[in-house]
Amino acid sequence: MTTLSPEILSALQQQAIEVPSWAYGNSGTRFKVFTTPGTPRDPFEKVADAAEVNRLTGLAPAVALHIPWDLVDDFGALKQHADDLGVRLGTINSNTFQDDDYKFGALTHEDAAIRRKAIDHHLQCIDVMDATGSRDLKIWLADGSNYPGQADMRGRQDRLHVSLQEIYARLSGEQRMVLEYKFFEPAFYHTDVPDWGTSYAQVAALGDRAMVCLDTGHHAPGTNIEFIVMQLTRLGKLGSFDFNSRFYADDDLIVGAADPFQLFRILFEVVRNGALNNPDVAFMLDQCHNVENKILGQIRSVLNVQEMTARALLVDRDALSAAQRSGDVLGANGIFMDAFYTDVRPALADWRESRGLPADPMAAYAASDYQSRIEADRVGGTQASWGA
């Protein structure tokens, strides 16, 4: 069995992956949202499910919130609830894609009144950050157009800059803004923040506390995502990851499910560029579980990230550098592939047990009574979904 060195185990000990509150709600496709027994009915129950993931894995100490999906009357009470369960409230995500006013844009809209409404929503999100102690405001925009000539693309970029400037100016202390990008959907001709370069250009014009969020599902097929990781860390502008998998488009599937080797390559660049356990780079999930059990889906997701991180840490970087310098193409590739093919799961299972965690968190959850208890307790009320 592969042995993980004390240095690798120390790095894994520090790893933290933020889970999204919306992963525990009902979700589906544009055709159908599926309901399941035991689904949370409010943010307090979402936080409880997230805490169960952390209890079994030791990997998920924070829960991201989405506003207005996770609005509550008393965020101090929600924060205390999270603290009592051993987790904290993390990134605050804005939402300017589910209101009729935003049909033709939000922060980039031609109408100043609609831009004002979108800006005010983000200022409200910062109020939530103040109440919860959250550091990051994450912005993803559905803004764009469907047809050539429909929109003034230059004007929209200028309006986006002005809107972001006002939001950024409201941040205080250690608070940050992270701007996500997505190359298409729901707009199909052009998206106002379609790629890492556009996001970088916008945040670089704002200041040091404006960063790029890299969602692993938001790229065209075949995109070399690990190159983007390298470049953004090199530029000091990689603020966070949204980890998920995609097959054909933005599928929000369990991270590592579609292409484990891609996840390994990304995490190698994370390690290589000093982003692992770097407080300036947040590891987050952005996933929806349409047909699988939601809590098990999140457990599997954080374990996948941990396993590929361990493999990335196994790469003999001294030998790899020597092979690269000497032009040994296949030797360098062989060193890389040897680490990827190493099965670290038995070693990780033993290590978990040594820390008082279950060797197999998936089996431990299945054997527990948590699922049956929430199915019995959460009867009545309205189940949460990513639409509410």
Q: What CATH number does residue 275 fall under?
A: 3.20.20.150
The pLDDT assigned to 387 comes to 65
Q: Is residue 318 part of a domain?
A: no
Q: Is residue 285 part of a domain?
A: yes
Q: Is residue 358 part of a domain?
A: no
The pLDDT assigned to 259 comes to 96
Q: Is residue 31 part of a domain?
A: yes
Q: What is the 3-state secondary structure (H, E, C) of the chain?
A: CCCCCHHHHHHHHCCCCEEEHHHHCECECCCCECCCCCCCCCHHHHHHHHHHHHHHHCCCCEEEEECCCCCCCCHHHHHHHHHHCCCEEEEEECCCCCCHHHCCCCCCCCCHHHHHHHHHHHHHHHHHHHHHCCCEEEECCCCEECCCCCCCHHHHHHHHHHHHHHHHHHCCCCCEEEEECCCCCCCCCEECCCCHHHHHHHHHCCCCCEEEEEECCCCCCCCCHHHHHHHHHHCCCEEEEEECECCCCCCCECCCCCCHHHHHHHHHHHHHCCCCCCCCCEEEECCCCCCCCHHHHHHHHHHHHHHHHHHHHHCCHHHHHHHHHHCCHHHHHHHHHHHHHCCCHHHHHHHHHHCCCCCCHHHHHHHCCHHHHHHHHCCCCCCCECCC
Please give the chain's pLDDT, 388 residues, in tens: 799 999 999 999 999 999 999 999 998 877 888 899 999 999 999 999 999 999 999 999 999 999 999 999 999 999 999 999 999 999 999 999 999 999 999 999 999 999 999 999 999 999 999 999 999 999 999 999 999 999 999 999 999 999 999 999 999 999 999 999 999 999 999 999 999 999 999 999 999 999 999 999 999 999 999 999 999 999 999 999 999 999 998 889 999 999 999 999 999 999 999 999 999 999 999 999 999 999 999 999 999 999 999 999 999 999 999 999 999 999 999 999 999 999 999 999 999 999 999 999 999 999 999 999 999 999 999 999 876 5
The pLDDT assigned to 350 comes to 98
**Dist. CA 119–CA 107, nearest whole Å:** 7
Q: Is residue 366 part of a domain?
A: no
The pLDDT assigned to 252 comes to 92
Q: Is residue 36 part of a domain?
A: yes
Q: Is residue 153 part of a domain?
A: yes
Q: Tell me the sheet residues that pair with 285.
A: 243
This prediction's pTM: 0.97
The pLDDT assigned to 251 comes to 85
Residue with tokens 């670290």: 344
> Considering only CA atoms, which of 347, 275, 264 is closest in space to residue 309?
264
The pLDDT assigned to 264 comes to 98
**Dist. CA 167–CA 123, nearest whole Å:** 6
The pLDDT assigned to 72 comes to 98
Q: Is residue 331 part of a domain?
A: no
> Considering only CA atoms, which of 177, 156, 153 is closest in space to residue 166?
177
**Dist. CA 221–CA 242, nearest whole Å:** 17
Range of the domain at 249: 14-312
Tokens of 47: 């936080």
Percent helix, strand and coil across the chain, each to the nearest 5 = 45, 15, 40
The pLDDT assigned to 46 comes to 98
- Please count the structural domains in the chain: 1
Strands 144-145 and 190-191 come out as: antiparallel
Strands 19-20 and 190-191 come out as: unpaired
**Dist. CA 57–CA 309, nearest whole Å:** 15
